[in-house]
Amino acid sequence: MSFVAVIPARAASTRLPGKPLLDIAGKPMVVRTAEQAARSQAARVIIATDDPAIQAAAMAHGFDAALTRADHATGTDRLAEVAQQMGWSGDTIVVNVQGDEPLIDPAQINAVAQLLAQDPDAAIATCAAPIGNTQTLFNPNAVKVVCDARQRALYFSRAPIPWARDELADGQQRLAPKLPALHHIGLYAYRASFLKIFPALPVGPLEHFESLEQLRALENGYAIAVLTAREHPAAGVDTQEDLERVRNIFANRL
């Protein structure tokens, strides 16, 4: 199996301005993420950004960096431009590693690429982990996914799905025993052939209201294979508190 890893990194961030370049133990966050991706079986790791400063930082640390347009609505659109720039063949597997995941497990990158390689009818592969607490199930920032018997995604939502009708009939928030609730993990593998058509696919009402780009694939009839991990991966960096937590982890490694 051969695949490439692309790390989209845009300069704009409302909660953490300049997030990709924030320092973690002497290196920018996006570089720390790229180092983890480089420990996977990826044949190549590329940082894709709309910011020349991020491109320069990536190259200064020995990573390939592609400069892309600044007007991409989603990370998938940015990957699509990179696939076009690189002229990859349609069967090239491209793994999207989010740039704020400096603790991502390289084995998980390999696993999602392998899942797509083994499922020729799927356009995308992604990951999920069992939900074990009420807070995650009812948190709209935690995306949930439900799957069919083949472990293909049926739907992604910010709402608590599946809905345990009887257990929640009294209006209280609780996690029903043995509820097959899955927390979606934002790690994706695509075929380059799909990336090349993704930007032209119409945005449907589900993507519009949920604000989840993966629904564009489902709304247009493309299959998404889902790998269920045994446990949740290390959390990414969204807030200053997250940043300090990750900095402490790296400091204790040194």
Q: What is the pLDDT of residue 14?
A: 65
Place of tokens 């991966």: 233
Percentage, residues of the chain above pLDDT 90: 85
Does residue 34 carry a pLDDT above 70?
Answer: yes
Does residue 113 carry a pLDDT above 70?
Answer: yes
Encode burial over 30-48: b for 16+ CB neighbours within 10 A, e otherwise: bbbbbbbbeebebeebbbb
Return d(Cα 96, Cα 104) in angstroms, integer.
12
Does residue 254 carry a pLDDT above 70?
Answer: no
pLDDT tens digit string along 161-220?
Answer: 999 999 999 999 999 999 999 999 999 999 999 999 999 999 999 999 999 999 999 999
**Fold topology of 3-252:** Spore Coat Polysaccharide Biosynthesis Protein SpsA; Chain A (3.90.550)
> What are the boundaries of each domain within the chain?
3-252
Does residue 125 carry a pLDDT above 70?
Answer: yes
Percentage, residues of the chain above pLDDT 70: 99
Q: Which of 159, 10, 1 is nearest to 99 (CA)?
A: 10
Give the predicted TM-score (pTM) of the model. 0.93
Q: Whole-number mean pLDDT of the chain? A: 93
DSSP category for residue 182: E
Q: What is the pLDDT of residue 234?
A: 81
Place of tokens 């020349």: 52
Return d(Cα 43, Cα 185) in angstroms, integer.
23
